[in-house]
Amino acid sequence: MKRMVVVMLALLFPLGALAQAAPSGKTLASTMGVYVFPAEGQSSEQQSKDEMECYNWAVTNSGSDPFKVAEQKQSDQQKAAEEKSAASQTGKRSGVRGALRGAAAGAIIGEIADDDAGKGAAYGAAAGVIVGRRRGRAARAEAEKQAEEKAAATQAATEKELENFKKAFGVCLEAKKYMVK
């Protein structure tokens, strides 16, 4: 009985793996958002073979693989989120640093003016907190802006790579007598 179960599982497992590998009857082209029509009545088997050949040709000639580009895009998005998070931490302690600088400057000015150095330090610390926080917010905003610009540039480059791949893929399929959109 155990042998029969093991044999049945062995027979069913490869079928399940194949079912998971093929995305619900979609062709290679349709997974990439490219629509292909067999203009000369090519069979679906021939179309699959031609799509695979054109896929390999397009990867070689465009220099990019859309499936690897998709993985890289996901990685870039995660990295951009981390950079934006790090940017939001920029200048967090600016108020404290400003207070320390202001207190030191206030104490020196108070001492020079023959005034109370402690009072000068208190005024300087208050002013330093305000200035430090403003500088911190400005630094944080600038860092976030730079992170967003970098992410946008990376996304534009990724889209350009995919566009070039699709052009090469389409040219190859058109040469094999398919209509491509």
Q: Is residue 159 part of a domain?
A: yes
E-only strand ranges, 54-170: none
Q: Is residue 10 assigned to a domain?
A: no
Domain containing residue 154? 31-180
Residue 21 forms part of a structural domain: no
- Give bridge partners of residue 141 from the DSSP assignment: none
Residue 53 in any domain: the answer is: yes
Would you say residue 16 lies in a domain?
no
The pLDDT tens digits of the residues spanning 90-112 come to 555 665 666 667 666 666 666 66
Of residues 56, 68, 31, 27, the one with CA closest to residue 172: 56
Nearest alpha carbon to residue 162 among 48, 31, 45, 52: 31
Top pLDDT among 79 and 24 is at 79
Task: Give the residue-averaged pLDDT of 133-157.
Answer: 79
The tens digit of pLDDT for each residue in 52-89 reads: 999 999 999 999 888 887 777 777 777 767 766 665 66
DSSP state of 32: T
d(CA 144, CA 137): 10
Exposure letters 132-149 (e unless 16+ CB within 10 A, then b): bbeebeeebeebbeebee
Query: Does residue 42 lie in a domain region?
Result: yes
Does residue 49 form part of some domain? Answer: yes
Q: What pLDDT does residue 25 have?
A: 65
Residue 36 is assigned to a structural domain of this protein: yes
Q: Which DSSP helix (H) or strand (E) runs through 37?
A: strand 36-38
- Tracing tokens 């590998």 back to the chain, one arrives at 21
Report the number of distinct structural domains present in the chain. 1
List pLDDT tens digits, range 147-161: 788 878 888 888 898
